[in-house]
Structure 1
Amino acid sequence: MPYAVNPLDGNDIYFDDGATGGRSVLMLHGSALSRSIWRGLGYVKALEPEFNTIRMDLRGHGRSAKPHRAKDYEMELVLADVLAVLDAAEVDSVHVLGYSFGARMGLQLAAAAPGRLRSLTLLGGTYRIDPGALARLFFADYRAALLTGGMEAFVAGMEAESGSLDPATRLAFLSNDPLALAAYFEYTESAPAMSELLLRQLHVPTLLMAGTRDRPRLEDSMRAAELMPDARAIELPGRTHGGTLFPPREILDALLPFLRSVDAR
């Protein structure tokens, strides 16, 4: 089974490695999703076989370990998960593609292990999170829904707030452990921001994309692009945060040339 073991706490992290050869792209999903979202929405088919894709379930999601304590989701531990997956896949350097929380992890990886990254693409990402941001993103009582009604109540609240979810996203949400997800969210909202001083020191080639209806992540992406030495930002007209990834064509039309240009340097 394709599991990596976190050396700090022994948790198992599940990943898929396309093993198609060539340059690798590590794909980091967003909160309450899983590695399957990348295949379900067509990204894997578009990237392979030109690029090998490595898709991991972040802890608390998919087939990876699902601890129920907030402290088990500290950035240091999640970062160690990512590095353990790269080691298990025997990949020295990788393009990183991250959505939402996966984008935050991409930034953490760029800061902690810049030598492992060829490039960084952030979709609907931010380098900071304000108190109450998750309630605005999901719905007011999202955490209570998880603790008392499980994933069904969480999905019902999401759809009441924002309309019907696409089938791939809905399936990914329903596959989660609600207690693990509640613990994950408890830590996530309290996690410290990345300083703008540190952003200025990240020299990894970076592409940031966010929807024009995804605020404040659009403003944060534009600000990060100004601060980072080798970064640019693209607006996705009309897209909300939840609608960032689908349909994929607009993103792929920017992503593929970017990856090729980095590899040609």
Structure 2
Amino acid sequence: MPSFHNGAVEIAYLDEGEGDPILLVHGFASTKNVNWVYPTWVSELKKNGRRVVAIDLRGHGDSTKLYDPEQYSIEILAGDVVALMDHLKFDRADIMGYSMGGRITAYLARYQPARLRSAILGGIGIGLIKGGGPGENVAEALEAPSLEDVTDPVGRTFRAFADQTRSDRRALAACLRGSRRLMTERQAAGITVPVLIAVGTKDEIAGSADELGKIIPGSQVLNIPNRDHMRAVGDKVYKTGVLEFLSHRH
């Protein structure tokens, strides 16, 4: 896979297809492959005439692992996404993020709107503002000697996922501690780019898509039926809704 350096940090990515670019930003403890390739997002978007770029965020996948939480603020993670756009020499793109990637996408939509044609916030609803989801319980689960030592149910879920993806658990714990700053309601209300919010109706981590939709002006909401945080990622309703949203943007 290709990579580039943003300062001292090596960032891995994929770049496939031709057409208008869409940049994909995976969720916490995931990777470009787990979040976007295996659930066939990359192939579907390419079939629909898009150039698809997907990043491995620092601390994840094939990118550099860091162990200082200060190196994982949302601003720094968003800076890696912009650096990738600069490296590939495109000024603007549709950007879709899932979960933590959705937080990064929302930050870019608010503070770098000239770089986005649209923002798709997957797996993140009102939790963007009110919080919830993985916290210190998950960081401690990632640092535990083994899965058997973890009693917290949410911690067990993320620890099992990290083990399954063979992730650097110490880097993930640092990332989690560094990236938890929330967006205020006023900041979210200042987002002006076109936004689609897509969340599973059984997602207890993301929070309500409808609640966030009432705050971000002109945003569209896509509720993904009967899907939780993990299972919404590859859902057909999610894909169909995103492709329809992008076709209108086109």
TM-score, reference length from structure 1: 0.83
Would the aligned equivalents of 2:138 and 2:154 in 1 still touch at CA under 8 Å? no
| Cα displacement (A) at 1:257 | 1.2
Residue matched to 1:128: 129
**Which residue number in structure 1 is paired with residue 6 of structure 2?**
6
Mapped partners of 2:94, 2:112: distance in 1: 13
Q: Call closer, same or farther: CA 1:31–1:243 in 2, change over 3 Å.
A: same
Counterpart position of 1:23: 20
Instruction: Work out whether residues 33 and 173 of structure 1, in 8 Å CA contact, stay in contact via their aligned partners in 2.
Output: no
1:109 corresponds in structure 2 to 108
Aligned partner of residue 207 in structure 1, secondary structure: strand
Instruction: Describe the SS at the equivalent of 1:54.
Output: strand
Residue correspondence of structure 1 range 1-265 to structure 2 within 5 A: 2-7=2-7, 10-18=8-16, 20-37=17-34, 38-49=36-47, 50-125=49-124, 126-128=127-129, 130=131, 133-134=133-134, 141-149=137-145, 173-189=164-180, 191=181, 193-215=182-204, 217-219=206-208, 221-246=209-234, 248-263=235-250
Q: Deviations over 1:150-175 (max 9, x none)?
A: 6x66999879966xx8xxxx588433
Change (3 A) 1:232 1:186: same
Deviation at 1:47, TM superposition (A): 0.6
Label 1:258 to 1:3 Cα distance change in 2 as closer, same or farther (>3 A).
same
Cα distance, 1:242–1:154 mapped onto 2, change above 3 Å:
farther
Instruction: Give 3-state SS (helix, strand or coil) of 2:129's partner.
Output: coil
8 A contact 2:222–2:238 mirrored in 1: no
Change over 3 Å in CA distance of 1:173–1:33 after alignment to 2: farther
* SS class of match (1:197): helix
State the percentage of identical aligned residues.
Answer: 27
Distance in structure 2 (CA, Å) of the matches to 1:134 and 1:153: 19
Offset of residue 144 of structure 1: 3.0
Structure 2 CA distance for partners of 1:82 and 1:160, relative to 1, 3 Å: closer
Count the aligned residue pairs. 245
Q: What letter is aligned with 2:192?
A: H
What code does the residue aligned with 1:199 have?
Answer: A
- 1:224, CA displacement in angstroms? 2.3
For residues 92-116 of structure 1, the C-alpha deviation after alignment (integer angstroms, 9 at most, x for no partner) is 1111111100000000111121011
CA deviations 1:103-159 (Å, max 9, x no partner) are 0000011112101101111111142353x6315xxxx95333322336x66999879
State how far apart, in whole Å, the 2-side matches of 1:183 and 1:60 are.
Answer: 9
Contact 1:34 / 1:172 at 8 angstroms: preserved in 2?
no
Q: Secondary structure at the match of 1:27?
A: strand
- For the structure 1 residues 208 and 68, does the alpha-carbon distance in structure 2 shift closer, same or farther, using more than 3 Å as the test? same
Deviation at 1:76, TM superposition (A): 2.0
- Cα RMSD between the aligned structures? 2.7
CA 1:155–1:94 in structure 2 vs 1: closer, same or farther (change >3 Å)?
farther
- Indicate if the aligned counterparts of 1:32 and 1:173 stay in contact, CA closer than 8 A: no
Where structure 2 has 5 or more consecutive residues not aligned to the other structure, the ranges are none
What is the TM-score with the length of structure 2 in the denominator?
0.87
1:54-85, Cα deviation, whole Å (9 max, x unpaired): 01001110011110111110122111101111
What is the rounded CA distance, in whole Å, between the counterparts of 1:22 and 1:40 in structure 2?
22
